[in-house]
Amino acid sequence: MREAAFVRQNKDKWVKYESLLQNNKTLSPGQISNIYVSLSDDLSYSKTFYPKSNTTRYLNGLTSAAHQKIFRTKKESGNRFITFYTKEFPLEFHKFQKQLLLSFLIFLGFTLIGAYSAASDAAFVRTILGDAYVNMTLENIANNDPMAVYKKMTETDMFLGITINNIRVSLMAFSLGVLGGIGTIFMLMQNAIMLGSFQYFFFEKGLLWESARTIWIHGTIEIAVIIVAGCAGLVVGKSMLFPGTYTRLRSFTMGIKNGLKIVISTIPFFIIAGFLEGFVTRLTWMPDIAAIIIILASLGLILFYYVYYPLYLLNNTQK
């Protein structure tokens, strides 16, 4: 379609949207979302076929205005916290599914590398996990309690310590995105190689199932949300390297805001993971079926919130 025909076809709609956005007229969240989605589609088309045109610049500004209006409120309502987690963040997160997938693939790849390295070099596990941890675990195995490490601290101390540490890792993965995403990839690599070598260590001792059914009680959410935090860092890195039609500074600012929202979204999940590690993982006598239910429920929760729910909200706003 020629640019003139594209403008003629959509001009009235754009003028209407511009008027609604500039006149501070009260709009429902659904109306604003519909405007934003419609403008985003038009902007995407314009970027593809008329990348350097005035039409693209106009739509870019109009879409940005709609984006800001979605989440900017002069008076914050009492349920602002709930709205962020149930509407605002998931509706935006659908845009970052590619970065989420990339973060997952990076983590999976380095996990396999960690396991392979542990299988190829007997000293690798000690290099990654440390002699003290390996020796302690070997002693626990000899005492017929291989998962005793999760019983060393009191429940509350472990819950708080693990939760704070996981949030710190999440913030690091996000903030290192300013290095063009390389720092984030390094953080993912560190954690993934540690996981791979850890699991192979127990596999070699004939305790793969015993370790998996124990650590994945909390690890399902913990590892998944570290991957989500990696997604946040990759969003920041992409905003620096590929600003698109925005200035690099504007793109970077948007990347930081989007990445920070992703990190904030992980905090409740890290609290859940910390609670499970502090209070539930230590129950090594728990029947296998109970552990499996917790693991599958945790996996379902993560997939629902970060994959299915954002797409569900997007589809609803387009109707």
Is there a single domain that holds both residue 272 and residue 236?
yes
Q: Could you tell me if residue 83 is inside a domain?
A: no
pLDDT in tens, 197-215: 999 999 999 999 999 999 9
Is there a single domain that holds both residue 219 and residue 140?
yes
**pLDDT at site 167:** 93
**Host domain of residue 48:** 3-72
Is there a single domain that holds both residue 312 and residue 215?
yes
92, 32 contact by CB (below 8 A)? no
CA distances from 155 to 3, 275, 280 (A): 64, 8, 9
Q: How far apart are CA 37 and CA 39, in angstroms?
A: 6
pLDDT in tens, 242-300: 987 778 888 899 899 999 999 999 999 999 999 999 999 999 899 999 999 999 999 99
Q: For tokens 């690091």, name the residue.
A: 172
The count of domains in the chain is: 2
Is there a single domain that holds both residue 63 and residue 142?
no
Domain end marker among 37, 72, 107: 72
3-class state of residue 19 by DSSP: helix
**pLDDT at site 273:** 95
**pLDDT at site 201:** 95
Q: Could you tell me if residue 84 is inside a domain?
A: no
**Residue stretches of the chain with pLDDT short of 50:** 73-77
**pLDDT at site 28:** 58
Q: Could you tell me if residue 173 is inside a domain?
A: yes
88, 71 contact by CB (below 8 A)? yes
pLDDT in tens, 102-114: 999 999 999 999 9
**pLDDT at site 30:** 61
